[in-house]
Amino acid sequence: MSERGKLRIGTRGSALALWQANAVAALLAQQGRGSELITIRTTGDRIQDRPLSEAGGKGLFVKEIEDALLAGTIDVAVHSAKDMSVAIPAGLAVAAVLPREDPRDALVLREGHPLSSAAAIGTGSVRRSAQLAVRLPGARFLPVRGNVDTRLRKLDAGEFDALILAVAGLTRLGYGARVSEAIPLDDCIPAPGQGIIAVETRADLADDRVWRAIDHAATAAAFQAERAVVEALGGGCQLPLGAIAVHEDGGVVVHAIVTSPDGRRRVRKTVRGAPDDPAGLGRRAAAELADGGAIDILNSLR
């Protein structure tokens, strides 16, 4: 901890990352715990000239922050859960997750320009373009990098006809009015962990009562189920793999999909179960995907 006894919260410097870190700081303050933010520039922030899938995946937004945790220069790391690898470094643990925001993907149109059949759509996600290629067969999906503000500026400047972004990020930054459509789960299953803010600490700090006080049980169950799908399939955050766990009628429903990058091959499964073993439910969804041919698709991409 800092000399003033405050928990040092490590975060990226983007507007969305700072919003997330401040949300955690506010919850800590409600529990009587002081904190301060420490901004860390990650490899993912520095690499802007090529898609993340070529540079090493979204884990590039996490590594330096986890290194700072392990080195003891920060006490807490705040991440977008979808950026985290399922392989958490030894000595670290996810201590809490915050209530989930809307996990769906959003279609964001350029103002005054309806979507044409040959629209140029900006997205840095193979998962999104692969699933939406079926719904928008004439569209051109083009790579786009940068934070939410940067991408919206590129859209408004006419570089794209539309963007695909997360509803959660737009909502948290006050851009909810820019959501032209929250894309139904039937059309596009989100990335595992999308809309979830995860709090990571060193293992020696993970049992602190403050984490139990701010952890959101329903979101934690979804987080565990979705990560179990990825772990069981050996996938990564840049593969065309979507998974979402939702609470329904007293149980948990997991929707999961694996597609080829062009969207022509796809395996989609839905499993239901009790909420007491979310990770087991995620593994069951992964097994059904594997039985349906998902492993062949994923192996062709590795």
pLDDT of 57 strictly over 50: no
Active-site residue flag, 49? no
Measuring CA to CA, which residue among 72, 74, 73, 80 is closest to residue 97?
80
Give the active site residue among 45, 49, 83, 276: 83
- Distance in angstroms (rounded) separating the CA atoms of residues 214 and 30: 9
The two tokens of residue 85 are 């690898």
- Listed in order, the ranges of the chain carrying CATH 3.30.160.40 are 228-299
What are the φ and ψ backbone dihedral angles of 41, each rounded to 5 degrees?
-90, 125
- pLDDT tens for 4-24 read 579 999 999 999 999 999 999
Average pLDDT of the residues in 286-298: 95
Query: What is the structure's pLDDT at 207?
Result: 87
Give the CATH class of 7-98+196-215. Answer: alpha beta
Model confidence, pTM = 0.92
CB 142: neighbour CB atoms within 10 A? 14
- Distance in angstroms (rounded) separating the CA atoms of residues 257 and 188: 9
- pLDDT tens for 145-155 read 899 999 999 99
- Listed in order, the ranges of the chain carrying CATH 3.40.190.10 are 7-98+196-215, 105-182
Can you identify the CATH homologous superfamily of domain 105-182?
Periplasmic binding protein-like II (3.40.190.10)
- pLDDT tens for 88-117 read 999 999 999 999 999 999 999 999 899 998
Query: What is the structure's pLDDT at 41?
Result: 85
- Distance in angstroms (rounded) separating the CA atoms of residues 225 and 282: 4
Query: What is the structure's pLDDT at 50?
Result: 47
For domain 228-299, give the CATH number.
3.30.160.40
Average pLDDT of the residues in 182-200: 97
pLDDT of 172 strictly over 90: yes
